[in-house]
């Protein structure tokens, strides 16, 4: 029984999978293994929901095993987007490391709360998972001859569905997929968020933006950048005019500009050129700004 254990085996297993997932995602060369994808899927579609279900139903007579599994998947599908929505409003945004940290922290926290709730229950009411007992129960049910035809069909359907799921995951993770090369180019406001951009200027005053470039071209790239207001180039830092980035490298640097032409609804363009085309922008971002005359 779970009450005889210092820490319930199911919650210990969940915590272990969370830690193992972090290791396979963060540590090189483990993060290039297909196991990383499988563990990541468990963290996305099962572990957060299971830990929350353990908090809500700590007793033995709460939910059956298959009900817990189904609800764990359903809750995980609901929890992950909510966590993503929350971290989207943080300076870090929805990226791999912030999402991994948030999901791991949530799952471990809920596992700790579930453990605390189980400790307050009498031993005979605590929910627990015994691998040996579960295997014996499954074997007994398979061997039972009194099992109805409907139950046999449902059990067979469940087993086939599980095998199809495993086969699909194995195909997706083991089959190499070619990815099209691309470059990410974005601008952020002074607080490093995609909002609160400087759009109101007085002649002679400067504004600051954060320029972001991510090289996913599978080779080292030479980029050239230009900033224009109404097709007139503006001066800015030399280190951003010509950049050399290795594959899978990200750069985020502040860019300071000073518009000098008075006018409303002027087009401010951030143009990124690659090494093969110097006249047509590879990426183009724009804002509309107002520049008022200094009094």
Cβ atoms of 18 and 51 closer than 8 Å: no
Does one domain contain both 99 and 197? no
The per-residue pLDDT for 131 is: 47
Cβ neighbours, 10 Å, residue 113: 15
Does one domain contain both 116 and 7? yes
- Tally the domains of the chain: 2
Does one domain contain both 8 and 120? yes
Does one domain contain both 204 and 117? no
- The answer to whether the Cα torsion of 79, 81, 87, 92 is positive or negative is positive
Does one domain contain both 16 and 114? yes
Does one domain contain both 125 and 186? no
Flag whether 172 is in a domain: no
Does one domain contain both 210 and 276? yes
- The answer to whether the Cα torsion of 234, 238, 241, 247 is positive or negative is negative
Looking at residue 285, which CATH number applies to its domain?
Answer: 2.60.40.10
Flag whether 230 is in a domain: yes
Does one domain contain both 117 and 17? yes
Flag whether 111 is in a domain: yes
- The answer to whether the Cα torsion of 179, 180, 182, 186 is positive or negative is negative
Q: SS3 of 28, please?
A: coil
Does one domain contain both 8 and 110? yes
Query: Tell me: the pLDDT tens digits for 214-262?
Result: 998 888 999 999 999 998 999 998 888 999 999 889 999 999 999 888 8
Flag whether 162 is in a domain: no
In this prediction, residues 61-70 reach a mean pLDDT of 73
Flag whether 147 is in a domain: no
Name the nearest CA neighbour of 74 among 100, 37, 54, 46: 46
The per-residue pLDDT for 179 is: 62
Does one domain contain both 27 and 100? yes
* Pairing state between β 242-245 and 232-233: unpaired
Query: Tell me: the pLDDT tens digits for 83-119?
Result: 888 888 887 777 888 888 999 999 999 999 988 888 8
Cβ atoms of 239 and 255 closer than 8 Å: no
Across the chain, mean pLDDT equals 81
On the question of pLDDT at 273 being above 90, the answer is yes
On the question of pLDDT at 2 being above 70, the answer is no
The per-residue pLDDT for 41 is: 86
Last residue of a domain, one of 129, 160, 194: 129
Flag whether 85 is in a domain: yes
Residue 59: C-alpha distances to residues 69, 74, 88 (Å): 15, 20, 35
Does one domain contain both 115 and 218? no
Gap between the terminal Cα atoms of the chain: 80
**Residue appearing with tokens 């599980």:** 162
Flag whether 170 is in a domain: no
On the question of pLDDT at 166 being above 60, the answer is no
* Structure tokens, 212: 């972001």
**Residue 72: domain span:** 2-129
Flag whether 117 is in a domain: yes
Does one domain contain both 212 and 102? no
Query: Tell me: the pLDDT tens digits for 116-140?
Result: 888 888 877 777 665 455 545 545 5
């Amino acid at each position: 029984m779970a009450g005889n254990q210092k820490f319930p085996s199911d919650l210990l297993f969940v915590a272990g999978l969370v830690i193992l997932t972090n290791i396979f995602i963060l540590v090189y060369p483990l993060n290039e293994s297909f196991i990383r994808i499988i563990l990541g899927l468990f963290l996305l579609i099962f572990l957060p929901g299971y830990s929350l279900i353990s908090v809500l139903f700590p007793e033995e007579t709460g939910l059956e095993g298959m009900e817990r599994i189904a609800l764990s998947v359903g809750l995980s599908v609901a929890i992950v987007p909510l966590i993503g929505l929350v971290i989207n409003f943080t300076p870090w945004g929805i990226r791999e490391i912030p999402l991994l940290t948030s999901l791991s922290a949530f799952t471990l926290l809920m596992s700790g709360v579930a453990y605390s709730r189980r400790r307050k229950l009498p031993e005979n009411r605590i929910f627990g998972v015994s691998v040996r007992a579960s295997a014996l129960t499954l074997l007994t049910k398979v061997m039972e001859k009194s099992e109805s035809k409907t139950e046999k069909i449902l059990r067979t359907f469940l087993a086939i569905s599980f095998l199809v799921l495993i086969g699909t995951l194995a195909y997706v993770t083991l089959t190499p997929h070619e990815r099209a090369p691309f470059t990410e180019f974005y601008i952020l406001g002074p607080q490093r968020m995609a909002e609160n951009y400087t759009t109101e200027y007085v002649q002679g005053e400067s504004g600051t933006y954060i320029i972001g470039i991510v090289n996913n071209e599978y080779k080292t790239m030479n980029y050239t950048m230009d900033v224009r207001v109404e097709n007139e180039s503006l001066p800015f830092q030399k280190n951003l005019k010509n950049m050399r980035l290795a594959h899978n490298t990200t750069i985020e640097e502040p860019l300071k500009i000073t518009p000098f032409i008075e006018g409303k609804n002027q087009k401010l363009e951030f143009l990124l050129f690659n090494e093969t085309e110097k006249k047509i922008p590879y990426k183009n971002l724009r804002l509309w700004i107002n520049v008022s005359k200094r009094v």
